[in-house]
Amino acid sequence: MTLQTEDDVADFVRAAKGPVAVRGGGTRAQGGVDETLPVAGLSGITLYEPGALTLVAKAGTPMTEIETALAAERQQLAFEPMDHRALLGTAGVPTIGGVVATNASGPRRIQVGACRDHLLGVRFVDGSGTVVKNGGRVMKNVTGYDLVKLLAGSYGTLGVLTEVSLKVLPLPERVATLTTVVPDAAAAVRILSDALGSPYDVTGAAAAQDGDGFRVHVRVEGFDDSVGYRAAQLRDLLHLDDGADPWADLRDVTALGDCPFVVRVSVRPSQAAALLSRMDGMDRVQLDWSGGLIWLGGAEAALLAQAQAICADIGGHATGIKGDFGPLPRFQPQPAPLAAISAGLRAKFDPRGILNPGVMG
């Protein structure tokens, strides 16, 4: 059955007898759920005003279509959503709804904010089949509660997104990358933090494994002369060299593509090295957001429980991204009062518990 309108989605949800898996690009069904709710039929950009920096699109719109339309006006989704396909080894066509539902945000998040910070409005169908809108298409909006943030990253468990409205930004005239190799994660984080603590508007601060050490990457973007100036300042300040552009691979975490298990960890940057020193059984590591985002790759599902236990101790959280973690929770377990609030919200928005059950919480 193809669903093409918001009303179709609402009818589908109302008629559903049991659990449904919300699917954007259609890569594979989630385990244990037979019925799929495909959103890909709700497709197309409904409004794009380059002069107002806003784009509205139906949730099933392929990312490629959005990126092409933006590039024609020299604009972009500045939060740099990752393409999971290389990491997960899947095919499919990533959709804007999937990006919003997972709050997918890449290296530039450190400077411009995450998907949720660029999301101006949403329309969704909740678990009772009711259509709800929140936010809008303007940059500043504090009218009522911010359900936009709540829906971003809710993995389809509060509602099926039908339309999203996003802030877009100019494409930079020039990109420069500075790099060096350091012996360990602590040294990498130090350089990256110094870069971000400078006034030179750094838009990428990542580190990839290089032999026994780490290769640090620092990015500046903007107008030609300005990039030249800031790159020169950073080169001197932090003793860096000019490097090639690694950002698409860093964004998509391709270096961990051959790992059967991948865990994504979010911590305070200064805790990154401590966390890594307490982990064992990991084969590959990538650092982004100056150490605040850590990708761990390994051969065992135990990687996740270990990372979650450390996060429970030092703060932050770990999420299973790739691999069959069995009965383990994919998301970091929350303290009881917060778990009760999250469960309470799901019970309100999806009283029958039919939307992506088991995906989160």
Partner 1 sequence: MHMPTPDARIMALKAALAARLRAVLPADAVIDDLAETRAYECDGLSAYKCPPMLAVLPATTAEVSDVLRICHEMNVPVVPRGSGTSLAGGAMPTADSVVLGVARLNAVLETDYADRIIRVQSGRTNLSVTGAVAEDGFFYAPDPSSQLACAIAGNVAMNSGGAHCLKYGVTTNNLLGVTLVLMDGTVVELGGGHLDAGELDLLGVICGSEGQLGVVTEATLRILAKPEGARPVLIGFDSNAVAGACVSDIIKAGVLPVAIEFMDRPCIVACEAFAKAGYPDCEALLIVEVEGSDAEIDHQLGLISAIAQRHDPVEVREARDADEAARIWLGRKSAFGAMGQINDYMCLDGTIPVTELPRVLDRIGALSQEYGLDVANVFHAGDGNMHPLILYDANTPGQLELCEALGAAILKLCVEVGGCLTGEHGVGIEKRDLMAVQFDPADLTAQMAVKDVFDPKWLLNAAKVFPLDASATHRAA
Ligand X SMILES: Cc1cc2nc3c(=O)[nH]c(=O)nc-3n(C[C@H](O)[C@H](O)[C@H](O)COP(=O)(O)OP(=O)(O)OC[C@H]3O[C@@H](n4cnc5c(N)ncnc54)[C@H](O)[C@@H]3O)c2cc1C
Residues 221-250 that bind ligand X (CB under 6 A): none
52 binds, among ligand X, partner 1, none (CB under 5 to 8 A by kind): partner 1
Q: To which residue do tokens 């690694």 refer?
A: 246
237 binds, among ligand X, partner 1, none (CB under 5 to 8 A by kind): none
Tokens of 152: 């971003």
Burial (CB count within 10 angstroms: exposed 0-12, middle 13-18, buried 19+), residue 337: exposed
179 binds, among partner 1, ligand X, none (CB under 5 to 8 A by kind): none
Judged by CB under 6 A, the stretch of 156-164, 204-212, 220-228, 274-282 that binds ligand X is 156-164
Is 361 among the residues that bind ligand X (CB under 6 A)?
no
Which residue, 161 or 220, is less far from ligand X as judged by CB?
161
Nearest approach, Cβ of residue 311 and ligand X (Å) = 16
Which residue, 9 or 255, is less far from ligand X as judged by CB?
9
Report the run of H or E that residue 179 belongs to, with start and end. Answer: strand 174-182
Nearest approach, Cβ of residue 150 and partner 1 (Å) = 5
Nearest approach, Cβ of residue 65 and partner 1 (Å) = 21
Among 322, 332, 357, 361, binds ligand X (CB under 6 A): 322
Nearest approach, Cβ of residue 3 and ligand X (Å) = 10
Which residue, 153 or 257, is less far from partner 1 as judged by CB?
153
Q: How far apart are CA 168 and CA 95, in angstroms?
A: 17
Among 4, 7, 14, 28, binds ligand X (CB under 6 A): 28
Is 59 among the residues that bind ligand X (CB under 6 A)?
yes
| 97, 60 Cβ separation under 8 angstroms | yes
> What is the per-residue burial (b if ≥16 Cβ within 10 Å, else e) of 249-284?
ebbbbebbbebebbbbbebebebbbebbeebeebbb
- Identify which of 211, 170, 183, 177 has the alpha carbon closest to the alpha carbon of residue 195: 177
Residues 83-102 that bind ligand X (CB under 6 A): 84, 88, 90, 92, 94-95, 97-98, 101-102
β pairing state of 35-38 and 20-23: parallel
Nearest approach, Cβ of residue 2 and partner 1 (Å) = 25
CA atoms within 13 A on the CB side of 152: 25
3-state helix, strand, coil in the chain (%, to 5): 35, 30, 40
**Contact residues for ligand X (CB under 6 A)?**
22-28, 39, 59, 84, 88, 90, 92, 94-95, 97-98, 101-102, 155-156, 160-161, 321-323, 356, 359
